[in-house]
Chains A and B, each alone.
Chain A
Amino acid sequence: MRRMINWRPPPLVAVILGALPFVILLGVYLIASDIRQTENPNDKLLPPPAAFADAMARMALLPDPRSGNILLWADTAASLGRLFTGLGLATAAGFVFGLAMGLLPLAGRTFSPFVAVFSMAPPMALLPILFIVFGLGEAAKIILIFIGVAPFMMRDMALRVAELPPEQLIKAQTLGASTWQIFLRVAAPQMAPRLIDALRLSLGPAWLFLIAAEAIAATEGLGYRIFLVRRYLAMDVILPYVAWIILLAFLSDYLLRKLQQRAFPWFQKEKA
């Protein structure tokens, strides 16, 4: 009898196993929904698939009578705009500060303690301050995402730079490199694929901060919509919206992974 740790499912079995939890979840929902619908056709808690289709057709295809916008797309555009602005700023700051902190003892001594302390501040506790200072507009939400994600990225980059073998930095110096040239040609290019890893890990927290900020103060956005329709127990809108958010997050993660494989082929080889 082979040990379990040595038994690898054949490809087809692996696909079936991977799909199984999804199928079970779906099956359980459909059965539970059906039971509730037969008891009470007006039940709002577990709507049947047709209700989702109706609600989504309303949200994604017809303009909202009050604003004239098609809500799903308006919400998606607003949320992704905030998310990517915040993440973009955090990534840029993480790259520049993290590399500087990891590469230059002077910058490390100056910023590391500050970043280490500041990264312990719960971003949600700072949100009221952001609303007070920046108002209820876009800035506060973007800054919340930035504050929530940037310290992690800076620290992660600084650690990754410190992991570069010291031999490499010495070798570069024996090839005549200046500090700037080492940054530009040795450290930064090797950190770029690792920055993508850090960005992928930050997607989850960034969505969390985005939805939280939108739930508290916004006039559009995916998080705003979910919390708005909660008042009417509109599960037929909430559940598809959640699925849509999951899809967006999954797609961004997938695209980042593909980008890393395409743009940095050496990184895959080095890891293998």
Chain B
Amino acid sequence: MTEISIKNLCKEYNDAPVLRNVNMEISGEEFCVIVGASGCGKSTFLRILLGEIQPSSGEIRIDGRPLPPEPGPERGVVYQRYSVFPHMSVLENVMLGPGFAASPLLGRLSGKRRRAAADEAMHYLREVGLDHACSLYPASLSGGMQQRLALAQALIMKPQILLLDEPFGALDPGTRKDMQDLILRLWRENRMVVFMVTHDLEEGFMLGTRVVVFDKIPSLKDGNENSGATITYDIPLNGRRKPCD
């Protein structure tokens, strides 16, 4: 079970506040959907969780320990685009993480361990329905298939937290529906906390066990002036859907 505690998180870019006093407690494998207007700081929030950027103040703890200041294998990510490596085949893309872990010097596996890793990678590719395309390059895949690949590539690391920044934002409605079913199934099977940013409220309410709304708060003192966004609604949902223990 993963405990995440976010206290008084603030982020400013060159004195322009983006996030202000964000507080959040998560315990257990929640599917946390983040919605909010464009530019209100959703991606910034994810990038802080990822360790890509540091908060200006406040703290984040995972299972009681401070968040590592760099991205690492315990936190996976899938972006709207550029989440896979164009110079590797589908299978190589998924085997990349295990290769990094096994060989500090070459970053790739060989021999028996390679075959074992390939089997495991094929398992995840079957999970996302891409096993038939394992020898293709990403450029030959459709948008939906590329996102499936990005998911398989992240899942093989068995991340504790999976961060999704508008992962289906560039997909057509039919593909999107398939991907929603897929992500829900993967979340149930893989026991992880999911943070997913979306602009589609319906999608958010259908998928999440929790929907948090980021919104700008007008500063009390200076009237209208922007003073950053915070969580204005935090709605628990779909409790029955929590992965059974």
Q: Which residues of A approach B to under 8 Å, CB–CB? A: 165, 167-168, 170-178, 180-181, 184-186, 189-190, 264-267, 269-270, 272
Contact = CB atoms under 8 A, between A and B. Distances in A.
A266 B70 CA distance: 30
Contacts of B97: 175-176
Contacts of A190: 85-87
A272 B139 contact: yes
Contacts of A266: 86-88, 137, 139
Which 4 pairs from chain A and chain B are nearest by CB?
A269-B139, A175-B97, A165-B82, A173-B71
B140 interface: yes
Interface stretch (B21-29, B56-64, B99-107, B112-120): B99-107
Most B CB within 10 A of own CB, among A167, A171, A189: A171
Nearest to B106: A184
Nearest to B103: A181
Nearest to A189: B87
The B interface, classified by DSSP as helix, strand, loop or mixed, is loop
Contacts of B96: 172, 175, 177, 185
Contacts of A269: 86, 137, 139-140
Interface of B: 50, 52, 70-73, 75-77, 79, 81-88, 96-97, 99-101, 104-108, 137, 139-140, 150, 153-154, 157, 159
B86 to A, nearest CB: 5
A265 B137 contact: yes
Specify the main secondary structure of chain A where it touches its partner.
helix
B100 A181 contact: yes
A252 B84 CA distance: 33
B77 A171 contact: yes
Nearest to A175: B97
A184 B107 contact: yes
A272 B140 CA distance: 10
B154 A174 contact: yes
Q: Which of B107, B137, B159 has the most chain A CB within a 10 Å cutoff?
A: B107
Given A174-B76, A178-B104, A185-B99, A167 B137 contact: no
Contacts of B88: 266
A38 B140 CA distance: 64
A174 B104 contact: no
A265 B86 CA distance: 11
Contacts of A267: 87
B104 A170 contact: no
A186 B85 contact: yes
19 contacts: A167-B82, A167-B83, A168-B82, A170-B50, A170-B77, A171-B83, A171-B153, A172-B85, A173-B71, A174-B75, A175-B153, A175-B157, A177-B107, A180-B104, A186-B85, A266-B87, A269-B86, A269-B140, A270-B137
